[in-house]
Each structure stands twice: as structure tokens, then as C-alpha cells.
Amino acid sequence: MSKITFLGAGSTVFAKNVLGDCLLTPALQGFEIALFDIDHERLQDSANMLNNIKKTGGSTSTVKAYTDRKEALRGAKYVVNAIQVGGYDPCTITDFEIPKKYGLRQTIADTVGIGGIFRNLRTIPVMLDFAADIREVCPDALFLNYTNPMAVLTNVMNTYGGVRTVGLCHSVQVCIPELFKSLGMEKEGVKAKIAGINHMAWLLEVTKDGVDLYPEIKKRAAEKQKEKHPDMVRFEMMLKFGHYITESSEHNAEYHPYFIKRNYPELVDRFNIPLDEYPRRCIEQISRWKQMREDLVNDTNLKHERSHEYASYIFEAIETDIPYKIGGNVMNTGLITNLPREACVEVPCLVDRNGVTPTYVGDLPPQLAALNRTNINTQLLTIEAAITGKREHIYHAAMLDPHTAAELSMDDIVAMCDDLIEAHGKWLPEYH
């Protein structure tokens, strides 16, 4: 029996999408769906929910919850990762509140920036533990990483974990639908080319019947910027740098030095930037969980419709050899020629029986590659810190982060990092 293992299965809503999709996919019938989470109550919730979907959907797969991670992984053909180390309390709170004391504000803090750096530092050791288990009990498995910070964790698993890893994010497949809906344009028949790095990939080309749609997109975007709306940062970046970005405005506000500035507080209002957005979402999600649990876990008639998540389509393409195209995060083996080879990039990939094959992109427009490199610098120094255990590389990563460097002096950045290391305590390994 082939096996799909889901690490972080207590993420019940996300497990419903990814594994519910697998239960409904004809090519994946007869599989074992193996669930693992350190929260045993949430683990059982997800098992109950998936068994409800299995029953209503008529799936022939089996759902099994494991409390032993290595046994959950043993013999797996595919592994899906969706963990969050440290959760909202205490770690996300720490990532926001300590920088705030230094005057550094954030919106999401899960990719780069000071929050992204520390989320990486507490997650990388756990991921490398996963990698050790995978090398032992399922060395040929394909590892699909959904956990942020996407670029760094996918890079670490490939470079230091010895595990065949592809990172997956929602932002590529929703880019065109959301942009065109926002601008009142029809998306049917549109062709697009997207590449860059995770959360900062670029809509390089967008055409319909051979006609370039960018002039119309920019015209409508410029008009829309005259009034407040939720996507003002991305529209501003497109109008200034020439291309639209895949990930949301609240994310991109903190990837660049232009938008969240103590000396220009009016920018936050002008570009409609939701500071502290991620903690707000966490609090809302926690408060909604009681009702969601009733709806998802205890509904024996629960039905599911296949979502837009890539995982089941990847597995299906490998099992059937019917090709499928995704936007995947992979190592830059010369794929984007003006970004560093040691970086993880997000490019179109073809999936079939051979697995996930990335496609060649070539040079990005120089201004876009330059913006990507500002974030890659922090990503690579964060990896250096995690692998060497040297505290100085944490400082380097933070000092090279565009938003952090635009707001704080080097001395304040070092002091803030020290405070964050102390506050994280046992969530981080020792740094020397």
C-alpha cells in the first residue's frame, strides 16, 4: 500500500484541503493517509474529520493517526509538511512584541524580516530532524513543504537535509484570478508567466490571444490607486518597478524599505497597511475554532470538494504520468540566471512520472532580480546562522533585511536580536 504522510496534521482546515483532495482523487485510492502531530487532540480531530470525508466520498484509502513520527514516515512515498514551531503563543507574540519595543512594526512576519528570521531559526532544527528520519525510513520520498518561511526551509531540506523537496505556496495559482477580479477584467483565456522567489515572484508576462495585457492592467491600477483598497502596496510596486508581485500587499509591505516607516507614519495610512495583521488573524482563528471543530470534526456527513492546493495534483501526475504544471520552489540550478545559484527560487515546473522538473527562466528584468536579491541576502545569512550556530550571522541576516535596516541602527538591531534570542529560550538551539 502506498503511503502519504502529513506532518503537522493538527492543522485541521489545511489537512482537510490537502488530504481531502487526496481522498477524492481516483489515482490515489488505496493509499494509506498517515497523520502525525505533537498535539494528540488535534491529531485525532483531523483523523475523525478525514474519516468522515472518506465515508461520504466513498474513498478506499485508509486514514491512520500516529504518535510516533518515524513510524508515520516509514515507507512513505509522499510527505507533506505543514508544521508551525512555537505557534501563536509564545513565539509569534514574541516575534511581534520585542521588535515593537524598538519601533520596528510588522504585518505578517513569516517570511523575511526579523519575524521571518526567528521563525526560521526555531523551525530549521525540527526540519533537519524530519530529514534524518526520512533518510532512514523513506529515503526516496518526495517532500512537499507548505511551511513558511518557504524559501529558507525548502533550501535547507534540499541542501542540508538530503531530502528531495519542493516548496508549495498558494500565491502563484491565485495571482491572476485575484488581480483580474480586483481590476474588473476577464481572466478566461489569459496566459501568464510567473517566476522569482517565494512571496516575491513576478508576473513577467500576461497576454490574451497574443496581446500584452500589462498596459490595460497598469491603466486600471493607476486609476484604482486614487481610492483606498486592500492591494495598494502591490499596485504601487507594479507602477514603480513594472511588474505585479504574487504575494499580498500586507506581506510585501514588510519585504521592502518603502512602506512601514516611523518617520513617515502617513505611509501606513496612505497605502492601507494592516500592521500586526498576523496576530489579529491568529486570535480570530483561535476564537473561531470551537465552532469550526463542531462543523468539521463532528459532522459525520461532511463533504469535500477538491481545492486548488497543488499536492493532490502533483501526486496524481506522478501516479498517472499525465503532465501537470505548477509553480514550485526549488533550488536555483541555473534556472534564473541573474539570481544566486545557492538560492531557492519559484519557477514553473512540469510534473509527471519523472517527478517535479523545473523549467528554465533565464534573466529576470534587472530591477526585479535586484529586489529579489535584497531578500535572498537575508535568507542565505539565516541559513548560515542555523547551520553554523554562530550568533553573528543572526545579526548579519537582520542587518541585511531591507525593512529592518531602513528603520534601526546596527547597534539596535544587535540588541533586538539578543532580546529575541533570550525571549525564545528553549525554542532555539544555543548560539555562540
Show the beta-strand stretches assigned E in 209-284. 211-212
Note whether 197 and 208 are within 8 A (CB).
Answer: no
Pairing of strands 3-7, 32-36: parallel
Instruction: Say what the pLDDT of residue 410 is.
Output: 98
**Residues assigned a catalytic role:** 170
What whole-number distance in Å separates Cα of residue 307 and Cα of residue 101? 41
* pTM of the model as a whole: 0.98
Domains in the chain, please, with CATH? 3-167 (3.40.50.720)
**Among all chains, which residue has been given the C-alpha cell 493517526?**
65
Binding site annotation covers 169? Answer: yes
Please tell me the predicted confidence (pLDDT) of residue 1.
82
The answer to whether 304 is a known ligand-binding residue is no
Ramachandran angles phi, psi of 365, nearest 5°: -50, 140
Question: Which of 52, 51, 59 lies closest to 31 in space, CA to CA?
Answer: 59
Query: Is 348:381 a contact under the CB 8 Å cutoff?
Result: no
Q: If the chain, 432 residues long, is cut into consecutive pieces of 10 residues, what is the mean pLDDT of each piece?
A: 96 96 98 98 97 97 98 98 97 98 98 98 98 98 98 98 97 96 98 98 98 98 98 98 98 98 96 98 93 91 96 98 98 98 98 98 98 98 98 98 98 98 98 96
To which H or E segment does residue 306 belong? none
The DSSP 8-state label assigned to residue 116 in this structure reads H
Q: pLDDT value at position 290?
A: 85
Kindly give the residue spans of alpha helices, DSSP state H, lying in 9-92. 12-24, 40-57, 69-73
At 304 the three-state DSSP class reads coil
Q: What is the DSSP string of 235-296?
A: HHHHHHHSS-BSS-HHHHTTTSSSS--TT-THHHHHTT--TTHHHHHHHHHHHHHHHHHHHH
- The Cα 428–Cα 390 span in angstroms is 12
Conformation bin of residue 355: beta by default, left when phi > 0, alpha when psi is -120 to 50: left
- CA-based end-to-end distance of the chain: 46
For residue 372, the surrounding DSSP H or E stretch is helix 366-388
Which grid cell sits at 136?
532512514
| The three three-digit cell numbers of residue 251, written as one number | 506581506
The verdict on whether residue 417 carries a ligand-binding annotation is: no
**Quick one: DSSP state of residue 141?**
P
Instruction: List Cβ neighbours of 301 (8 Å cut-off, separation of 6 or more).
Output: 52, 56
CA dihedral of 199, 200, 205, 208, whole degrees rounded to 10: 30
